[in-house]
Structure 1
């Protein structure tokens, strides 16, 4: 909660988070499968109820690993506490799909969330719980779909592949690294192809200011970064700071 509050106070309108699900179906803001690395708890998060998890404390960065004196937080509490903030939510487990759909429905937060996941199967489960009367929810492709689109772009079959993928799942964005091994993922031609198909391109994790400027000049739509100070400076120079929703 403290990290999100600090980011919002600095001017960020879009926050990237990861979620996992407790044993009693609560959606918890947490990256790791295990609690051990960054909390006072041990074992898998999914083995504990929210009442049990709420007694654990977040730890500070290593090597000192001091207590931050702050508890874990539910995603629902972030929505309530920061009503003008939008969240890029990475579904880390399958169990989060159904309760996430219910949370968005209860809070009418359809336009405040982009659903992401490394596995397209997690996104598929989420959209299986979206009802016909629900509003559109933005979503970015999983790794399988990204791989198909990269290959299709090289083979000149990008448009057909986008059409086929959209028959299965919504596709509003791609969230990709600049490179994957020896493969250059983010190029001007690829970004332009995505834009022609109505797909936004978000690049992670970009922490160098020169790289931020280069990618934005190329036309990418978003950057995931750990370096808040530099991205704020870069966006301010472009007249885009603080972020307006």
Structure 2
């Protein structure tokens, strides 16, 4: 069965990577993964917003990519060393801090793609997304971390398991199964996986190939490619058969590929 996260929306899917920060917004100090960035993605018509989850010193799950604040605020401390209130002050002129709870409540029609960056955040992410499991996809480079978040969501009473995409270990095993052309092994590796969210290349290794796309589709798994900002690349990848584009420029991608929310 198709998870509700995918239902009723067209492909190719446009996933707004860390929200949307246009060049104009960037020039005015708006940061990725801020309240303003998520709001801009929503206003542009994005159905899907990709974001990242860290835990503050006082236990709040916030949308933040890096483990520390240096790139976004100039502060060298870890997110886990800063209390929520202080982080709110630091982000006040950068588009505003947004917590996971605020994101889910403020954008009730948005479908979130959440990357659990911090191991300590997995249980809290699962608990918070449990009432919203139909519109959340949980992922992580760590398969153990994403599984912990999924288990926590079910333990917190989620009616269904959130959707999920493969971690690095699963993708490595999949590439091995494809190399030996073992269809049964591919099916076993992808059991319980809803999407593969991968770069087109990893160093010299080409990850996104016709063989990978075909194998994924045979097991009803979608392929989403990150991070694609050039329109010709978007069109070329969609031409290969990928199901979604993760992009910093959701506004551009929506113009090129469509996939806007109804009424936007």
Q: TM-score range by the shorter chain?
A: 0.7 to 0.9
Q: 1:72-221, aligned counterparts within 5 Å? A: 72-105=97-130, 108-131=131-154, 134=158, 135-164=160-189, 166=191, 170-221=192-243
1:42, 1:71 → 2: CA distance?
19
* TM-score (normalised: structure 1): 0.85
Conserved 8 A contact 1:149-1:158 = no
Give TM-score scaled by structure 2 length: 0.80
Equivalent pair of 2:154/2:161 in contact (CA under 8 Å)? no
Q: CA RMSD in A?
A: 2.0
Post-superposition Cα deviations, 1:207-235, rounded to whole Å, max 9, x if no partner, equal 11111111112221111011233312222
The answer to whether structure 1 residue 33 and structure 2 residue 56 are counterparts is no
> Relative contact order (alpha carbons < 8 A, sep ≥ 6): 1 or 2 greater?
2
Partner of 1:61: none
Listed as ranges, the matches of 1:57-72 within 5 Å are 57=91, 67-68=93-94, 70-72=95-97
TM-superposed deviation, 1:244: 4.7
1:105-132: CA deviations, max 9, x gaps? Answer: 2xx2001111011111211221332436
Unaligned runs of 5+ in 1: 59-66
Structure-1 residue corresponding to 2:45: 11
Corresponding residue pairs, total: 227
Is the 8 Å Cα contact of residues 162 and 197 (structure 1) preserved in structure 2?
A: yes
Q: CA deviation at 1:55?
A: 2.3
Q: CA deviation at 1:41?
A: 3.9
Larger Cα Rg: Structure 1 or Structure 2?
Answer: 1
Instruction: Report the CA distance shift for 1:4/1:149 in structure 2 as closer, same or farther (over 3 A).
Output: same
Counterpart for residue 31 of structure 2: none
Residue 34 of structure 1 aligns to a residue whose secondary structure is: coil
Paired with 1:160 and 1:192, the residues of 2 have a C-alpha distance of 15
CA deviations on 1:58-98 (whole Å, 9 max, x unpaired) are: 6xxxxxxxx43x33210110111111101111110111111
Measured in 1, the distance between the counterparts of 2:187 and 2:247 equals 27
Structure-1 separation of matches of 2:55 and 2:47: 25
CA distance in 2, matches of 1:48, 1:57: 12
Answer with 38-47 or 157-166: which moved more: 157-166
Runs of 4+ aligned structure 1 residues displaced above 4 Å come to none
